[in-house]
Structure 1
Amino acid sequence: MSDHSPATARRARTILLRLGAVVLLVAAWWAVAAAEIWPQVFVPAPQAVWQQFLDTAGLSDTARPGWAGYSLGEHLTASLRRMALGCAYGISGGLVLGLLIGLVPAIDAALGPAVTFLRTLPPLAYLSLLVIWFGIDEAPKVWLLMLAALPPVAVATADAVRGVPADYLNAARSLGTRRLLLPWRVLLPAAAPEILTGIRLAVGVAYTTVVAAETVNGVPGIGGMIRDAQRYNQTDVVVLGIILIGLSGLAFDSLLQLAQRRLTPWRGRI
């Protein structure tokens, strides 16, 4: 009982600090809006954003709930589906490419600079090219998110694989592990903490890209909703979309942190 009480107290203190920070932020937001330092079109009041949430979610008595013909749930589901597909393809490709770059010097020399080049490009730089290639439907959005997620995973995997001690490989060989199984049984488990950190970074980069991905025919979608609302100066809808993207991003990152703790329980303890 006493062994768990310090950890429980720390968790409770962390939760209280986070809740306190949120309350202070909302209070400051409300105070600035109530003081009318700027017009409502610049700084909408929290209650206006909350009302927009109720309206677009179909929880109020408005005649036409939703936004642009879709409910808030449909907008969020569309964005999360694109995120899931783009991240799944990007993470899978990044793992394979990172392994090849980390293990084969010739592939590192050939593809390493290309991965770095792609990692430094802002998403909007090649969105237009993807639209020309794949049209304005779902394909360019998924491709954009995939290309945003792939480089961080590839770089993290390559660096992690290079950092695995040679003694691990020698020990596995001496125990009879075949050469083709070494990457899956030795290298990936040993490099898992760094790879999972790269995956978290990749998901974060993809989240920063989703609004750009949905600027072209992005309705339904949170990014498309934000873009559409911006055209009509509906700042409360823009703020609502930003909050939803941030909250869903926090939820995804929390799940990834939980997976990181479960898959690599030894991290930070040895």
Structure 2
Amino acid sequence: MSTTTRTPPRDTEADDRPTRFRIPEAAGSIGLRALSVGGFLLLWWAVARAGIWPPVSLPSPGAVWAQLVTTATVGYSGSTVQGHLLTSLGRILLGSGYGTVGGIVLGLLVGLVPAARAVLGPFITFVRTLPPLAYLSLLVIWFGIGEEPKIWLLVIASLPPVAVATADAVRGVAPDYLNAARSLGARSWQLPVRVVLPYALPEIMTGVRIAVGVAYTSVVAAETINGIPGIGGMIREAQRYNQTDVVILGLIVIGLSGLLIDWLLQSADRVLAPWRGRT
């Protein structure tokens, strides 16, 4: 008795279908972004070239580029543009760092202790609704015109987003996780570190990203008071003398460095909380 092997029928339609060239997703995304930036620059150049507004109101991309070369080599208001940027980044790092640590501590208290939630919850919400400029004058009265009011402004601006994100994430911890940890021998004082904090870490990282963004948007307001050196102080100084090309340059520097910082935070999120979306 012989056995015969039956060959499955060939899908002639699939074999005859022409092979399509597929652009990798990453390359396509980069291409679209480059096209978007190029289109914006072309539109900006065309509007400036048409002379709809005078150069003092809308300088051309070439004028802003020339100002970048000048400020990067010769400097502006006693420092180069990279020096101004590094000073502002140092203030943001210090202010948002303190704000993040304080926000995590307050968020854990509000999320875990009902009495703390009743006492601190309204206070955090009250501060979160205040625009930074509303309490900048008060900080200047308290701390003078040195570095202290700038740092405190960024601390107060960045603390509430982290606190709210931490508290909401902590309250969302499933009781089964806590009971499972207790059954495995975890002490009560170990639960916040071993269970609650890892569970809440993805949401905490989201709060940190928001807090750093808020701090970055507040740095210009913080540096309006004796902000030289500083990118916000450079913009303020240029505004006083109607140097629009320097103002636009400062805005571009802030935006690009903000994109880089947000990308770094997203990368840190993937490293510190790889379980995001899996629990």
**TM-score, normalising length: structure 1:** 0.93
- Tell me how far 1:269 sits from its aligned partner: 4.7
Q: Distance in 2 between matches of 1:147 and 1:118?
A: 8
Structure 1 regions of 5+ residues with no counterpart?
Answer: 1-6, 59-64
Give the corresponding residue for 2:145. Answer: 136
Structure 1 position 228 matched with structure 2 position 237: yes
* Other structure's SS at 1:53 match: helix
Alignment of 1:54-65 (within 5 A): 54-58=69-73, 65=74
Alignment of 1:203-218 (within 5 A): 203-218=212-227
Q: Aligned pairs, how many?
A: 258
Mean Cα deviation higher: 141-150 or 173-182? 173-182
Structure 1 position 159 matched with structure 2 position 174: no
Check 1:70–1:183 CA distance in 2 against 1; reply closer, same or farther (3 A cut): same
Structure 2 regions of 5+ residues with no counterpart?
Answer: 1-21
- AA paired with 1:119? R
* Other structure's SS at 2:24 match: helix
Alignment of 1:166-185 (within 5 A): 166-185=175-194
Of residues 121, 129, 147, the one that matches 2:130 is 121
- AA paired with 1:86? G
Structure 1 position 44 matched with structure 2 position 96: no
Check 1:247–1:184 CA distance in 2 against 1; reply closer, same or farther (3 A cut): same
Identical aligned residues as a percent? 66
- Tell me how far 1:181 sits from its aligned partner: 1.3
Structure 1 position 89 matched with structure 2 position 98: yes
Q: Distance in 2 between matches of 1:130 and 1:54?
A: 36
- Tell me how far 1:159 sits from its aligned partner: 0.2
RMSD: 1.2
Check 1:134–1:231 CA distance in 2 against 1; reply closer, same or farther (3 A cut): same
Give the corresponding residue for 1:148. Answer: 157
* Other structure's SS at 2:153 match: helix
* Other structure's SS at 2:225 match: coil
- AA paired with 1:254? W
Q: Distance in 2 between matches of 1:181 and 1:214?
A: 42
- Tell me how far 1:8 sits from its aligned partner: 8.7
Of residues 247, 266, 271, the one that matches 1:257 is 266
Give the corresponding residue for 1:29. Answer: 44
* Other structure's SS at 2:197 match: helix
- Tell me how far 1:268 sits from its aligned partner: 3.3
Of residues 233, 249, 253, the one that matches 1:244 is 253
- Tell me how far 1:95 sits from its aligned partner: 0.3
Give the corresponding residue for 1:186. Answer: 195
- AA paired with 1:36? G
Q: Distance in 2 between matches of 1:257 and 1:8?
A: 25
Q: Distance in 2 between matches of 1:43 and 1:66?
A: 22
* Other structure's SS at 1:57 match: helix
Check 1:165–1:89 CA distance in 2 against 1; reply closer, same or farther (3 A cut): same
Alignment of 1:72-83 (within 5 A): 72-83=81-92
